[in-house]
């Protein structure tokens, strides 16, 4: 693994403070933030993608172990639902935003200009890569401590039943309170049948209000609902991603003939 110039992350100490981790090997942290677009522009062969792969497994094990040990009354199906409620791109991007991880990403100029610092997929992948970096630098116990610190509340909410991290329900309730009507979702998909990516746009009062993507229709709709909910509640002003009008319009333009749901 080639070294990355530490000067390219001037705020490394601040990021370590936010993460609650001091790296013995700072290059691991920097590698976890290196998007492939930055690597392509700077002659770096390795991006954060391998770390993302490892971090996904570490994250899954930590969450699975916790819900198995702390919710003995839940059957296997509900345990899987709790895990899926937190181990998904929407939730991970939400956590990454709260940690201001986007401010520290190493992005290519084009990706940066295109809003890459607030893209759900990039943020979620970076958080998984950071988890892997912590695991490699300090071991499983430290990675587990970090994951539980940033996800414990969400795990408990997911285990409490519908409405915790169910942003479709929360958005529907918020829309009703503001007389915006029932949220409507346009969904399209791309890719082969075995590896589809779904893209959703949610409309409130006929206007695009949020968009999201996921590995399933449900996950994409939840991501879109999250963005719309954050936008309506003003959370985007705190550094969370806000909907992109141009992206919303593109999603609508390409949604002809795609599946539409009623938002329940």
How far apart, in whole angstroms, are the C-alpha atoms of residue 30 and residue 126? Answer: 11
- Report helix angle 167-177 to 217-233, nearest 10: 40
Q: Is the dihedral of CA 204, 210, 211, 216 positive or negative?
A: negative
Active-site residue (options: 52, 56, 219, 221): 56
Active site residue 5: no
- Strands ordered across the beta sheet of 184-190: 207-214, 197-204, 184-190, 259-261
β-pairing, 207-214 with 184-190?
Answer: unpaired
CA-based nearest residue to 105, from 90, 89, 87, 93: 93
Active site residue 128: yes
Burial class from Cβ neighbours inside 10 Å (0-12, 13-18, 19+) for residue 261 reads middle
Active-site residue (options: 128, 137, 211, 248): 128
Q: Catalytic residues, which ones?
A: 56, 128
């Amino acid at each position: 693994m080639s070294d990355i110039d530490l000067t390219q992350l001037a705020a490394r100490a601040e990021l370590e403070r936010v993460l609650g981790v001091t790296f013995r090997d700072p290059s691991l942290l920097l590698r976890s933030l290196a998007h492939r677009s930055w690597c392509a522009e700077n002659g770096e062969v390795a991006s954060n993608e391998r770390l993302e792969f490892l971090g996904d497994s570490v994250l899954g094990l930590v969450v699975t172990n916790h819900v198995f040990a702390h919710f003995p009354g839940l059957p296997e199906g509900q345990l899987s639902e709790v895990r899926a409620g937190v181990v998904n791109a929407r939730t991970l991007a939400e956590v990454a935003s709260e940690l201001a991880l986007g401010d520290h990403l190493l992005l290519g100029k084009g990706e940066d200009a295109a809003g890459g610092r607030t893209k759900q997929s990039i943020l979620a992948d970076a958080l998984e890569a950071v988890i892997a970096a912590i695991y490699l630098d300090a071991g499983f116990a430290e990675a587990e401590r970090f994951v539980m610190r940033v996800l414990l509340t969400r795990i408990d909410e997911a285990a409490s039943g519908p409405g915790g991290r169910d942003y479709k329900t929360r958005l529907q309730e918020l829309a009703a309170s503001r007389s915006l009507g029932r949220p409507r979702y346009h969904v399209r998909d791309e890719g082969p049948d075995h590896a589809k990516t779904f893209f959703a746009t949610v409309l409130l009062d006929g206007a695009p209000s949020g968009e999201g993507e996921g590995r399933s229709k449900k996950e994409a709709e939840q991501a879109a609902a999250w963005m719309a909910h954050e936008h309506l509640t003003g959370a985007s002003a705190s550094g969370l991603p806000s909907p992109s009008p141009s992206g919303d319009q593109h999603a609508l333009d390409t949604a002809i003939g795609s599946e539409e749901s009623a938002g329940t």
